[in-house]
Chain A
Amino acid sequence: MGPNDIELVALAKVTQDGAAFTELVRRHQARLRAFLRRLCGSAHLADDIAQETFIKAYEGLTSFRGGASFRSWLYAIAYREFLQDRRREKAAARLKGALQTDASNIETSSAIEDGLSMDLRRALMGLEETERAALLLCDAAGLSHSEAARVLKAPLGSIKTYIARGRKKMRAALTGGSDKRPPETETMKTKAPAAHKGVIYAV
């Protein structure tokens, strides 16, 4: 069994070892980028933010104390980068299309390319940023509520509220406004990855 994250961080700190950091990137990049893609709705922007996140992490590795998990530390940097990017005027222009909650502005090709159904994408992008982030962190990326609280710098109670509210809104959006649970499809039962491209609620 290989070294865990904390050991790799220690190794990278002590030896200034690029290989140890590369291993950390290899372990976390895919899920971090998936989180960012679903958070900001743009693959290109998400990858830019992910790169910035890893560069910041590399430069700030000495400030990582090891109290929290490396994963939540990394996601916290990514979320901060996302918020900073949102604030910049330039980024706002880039995000204009991607963050529109109006369904008519959703990039169909990008959604299909990402394997995300239009319904799900619309529902997700219809949430408040914090709700979307909390829902993605806990329900999708598998972080605990306390880890999500550290990432979003919010109280634990607020995280639970965001998640509950986010689920409720998504359920309502996916079932056409009636706030009831969506039908459980074969896709959801089996979790077959490619099966839910745009057909989740068409059955």
Chain B
Amino acid sequence: MPSDNIEMLLQADFDDLAGRLENDRFEKRLQFRLAARSRARLGVIGLAGGLGAAFAASQFADLGRLAAPYLAKALPSYTVSIDTATQLSAAVVLAAAVITTALVLRQDT
């Protein structure tokens, strides 16, 4: 039971105000803000993943050339050209980066 009129007055005002705030689409605005944060975060993850994969792929040609003499000795019957092997490796790394990003996106949404 309210202890005095001040309490009743505040309660009446508060209930009235809360009632009017019940259906003014605040939840929608909040959801949009939460989604915007999530989208920004995912964008950063995707960008970082793409850049990292592209950089890694760009190093494969050099690595392949360095490793070529040793590979030729170790696998004399394996005649695939170095360029083809590095391009394939780069494609695999890029695909792995895209798949990883997609998995992260899927978990976040």
Contacts and interface: CB of A to CB of B under 8 A. Distances in A.
To the question of whether A and B form a pair in one complex, the answer is yes
Interface of A: 16, 18, 22, 25-26, 29-31, 33-35, 37-38, 47, 50-51, 54-55, 58, 114-116, 120, 135-136, 139-142, 167, 170-171, 174, 181-182, 184, 187-188, 191-194, 196, 200
Interface residues of B, number: 30
A193 B26 contact: no
Interface string B3-39: 1111111111111111111100011011101100100
28 contacts: A18-B31, A25-B26, A30-B18, A30-B22, A30-B26, A33-B21, A34-B17, A38-B17, A47-B26, A50-B26, A51-B30, A55-B30, A55-B34, A115-B17, A135-B6, A139-B2, A140-B13, A171-B4, A181-B4, A187-B12, A188-B8, A191-B8, A191-B12, A193-B12, A193-B16, A196-B13, A196-B16, A200-B9
Interface of B: 2-22, 26-27, 29-31, 33-34, 37, 107
A179 B58 CA distance: 81
Q: Which of B2, B8, B9, B31 has the most CB of A within 10 A?
A: B9
Across the A-B interface, give the 9 residue pairs with the lowest CB-CB distance, nearest first: A193-B16, A140-B14, A140-B10, A34-B18, A30-B21, A139-B7, A34-B17, A30-B18, A191-B12
Contacts of B31: 18, 22
A135 B13 CA distance: 13
A120 B12 CA distance: 12
B15 A33 contact: no
B93 to A, nearest CB: 29
Contacts of A26: 27
Overall SS of chain A's interface = helix
B19 to A, nearest CB: 6
Given A139-B6, A182-B6, A37 B34 contact: no
